[in-house]
Amino acid sequence: MQEALLYEKLGNQKVECNLCAHHCKLAPGKFGICRVRENIDGTLYTHVYGRTIARHVDPIEKKPLYHFFPGTQAFSIGTPGCNFHCDFCQNCEISQVVSPGILTVGQPATPEEIVQEALDRECKSIAYTYTEPTIFFEYCNDIGPLARDVGLKNVFVSNGYMTSEMLELAAPWLDAVNIDLKAFRDDTYRRLMGGHLQPVLDSMKKIIQMGVWLEVTSLIIPGINDQSRELHEMAHFVANELGVDVPWHISRFFPGYKMHDLLPTPIDTLQKAREAGTEAGLNYIYVGNVPASADQNTVCPRCGATLIERVGYNVLGNIIENGRCAECEYKIAMVD
């Protein structure tokens, strides 16, 4: 247990947590919505510092980040808990903390040990992922600078519900972020995630302003966010507010957790989303969770040459030379 960052004391031993957009106000003995931060006698503590519940080496493409050191490995860690409660969560066993007991599960590791393990396993980056890195930010904030010192990159895979204060604290060591844009309706965010849309949009804009590499992922769920109008709104937000070079990952939904009654997203719907991205002017659109789809390749926006060929999370070939298309020398938006 460690004292939390980014909270203020309100008097009468109450505290307000300013780590995420919920801004939980907690009386003594109370946990926040994430169920991992607790007010103990007027001091806010995090219960998820220094222990991982998931720790693996993954391709960076699995995050997904397709324009950030493609073909490299990311040492990926997560702790229990999340500030959202998505009905379709694929990691619900570890993201949804139903009892404080789960907080003591996992493997202890100091920040130095995490960095050393990433080096030993020949990774290019450390990815804070699986659950929501915002809620284990204190741990990230101690690992991140150490990782930077030895040449490792730091990557967040996030729902985007952090505060701008948190992003500013992370700015000196954060290199890339993938944010889920889960819908373009506040009502959907309230009903299915337990949050609001606007803070997520604000985080994405802030990340661009900070000069941190950003990619966006939208899971397209039948009957939830698959209407043409909403797909166009999402695509236009990415293109107009973030930039046409921000990669947009359109991801296929499969039934799970509290959404067993729906069918997988039809391929036609994913194509409709893809067309919305093209119409908005996006240069890099990917379709994920569809085996052997050519829509996972990186294609030159100018001449149409296939530059990075992918199957699943594997990079089969990369003909980008000095950041440019090998055929027409168009500058490809990429960190490498």
64 binds ligand SF4 (CB under 6 A): no
Cα(67)–Cα(284) distance, integer angstroms: 9
- 335's CB contacts (< 8 A; 6+ apart) are 67, 68, 69, 175, 176, 213
Cα(68)–Cα(212) distance, integer angstroms: 11
Interacting stretch for ligand SF4, rule CB under 6 A, among 80-88, 225-233, 234-242, 274-282?
Answer: 80-88
Nearest to 118 by CA among 152, 155, 87, 92: 152
Strands 43-46 and 2-3 come out as antiparallel
Does residue 195 contact residue 189 with C-beta atoms inside 8 Å?
Answer: yes
95 binds ligand SF4 (CB under 6 A): yes
CB of 302 to ligand SF4, least distance (A): 35
94 or 282: whose CB is closer to ligand SF4? Answer: 94
227-286 positions binding ligand SF4, by CB under 6 A: none
Cα(297)–Cα(22) distance, integer angstroms: 37
Q: Which of 52, 76, 79, 91 contacts ligand SF4 by CB under 6 A? A: 91
32 or 277: whose CB is closer to ligand SF4? Answer: 32
Interacting stretch for ligand SF4, rule CB under 6 A, among 13-21, 113-121, 262-270, 325-333?
Answer: 13-21
298 binds ligand SF4 (CB under 6 A): no
DSSP-based three-state secondary structure for 56: strand
Amino acid found at 109: A
Interacting stretch for ligand SF4, rule CB under 6 A, among 15-23, 170-178, 300-308, 320-328?
Answer: 15-23
Residue nearest to ligand SF4 (CB): 32
170 binds ligand SF4 (CB under 6 A): no
CB of 197 to ligand SF4, least distance (A): 13
CB of 39 to ligand SF4, least distance (A): 9
Interacting stretch for ligand SF4, rule CB under 6 A, among 20-28, 109-117, 205-213, 323-331?
Answer: 20-28
Q: Which of 52, 76, 83, 154 contacts ligand SF4 by CB under 6 A? A: 83
Helix 228-237 vs helix 267-280: crossing angle, to nearest 10 = 40
Cα(288)–Cα(63) distance, integer angstroms: 11
82 binds ligand SF4 (CB under 6 A): yes
Strands 37-40 and 54-59 come out as unpaired
Beta strands in the chain, from DSSP E residues, in sequence order? 2-3, 7-11, 14-17, 25-26, 37-40, 43-46, 51-52, 54-59, 73-78, 107-108, 125-128, 153-158, 176-180, 213-220, 248-252, 285-288, 298-299, 306-311, 314-318
Q: Which of 22, 63, 153, 274 contacts ligand SF4 by CB under 6 A? A: 22
23-52 positions binding ligand SF4, by CB under 6 A: 23-24, 32-34, 37
- Residue ranges that bind ligand SF4, judged by CB under 6 A: 17, 19-20, 22-24, 32-34, 37, 82-86, 89, 91, 95, 131-132, 135, 159
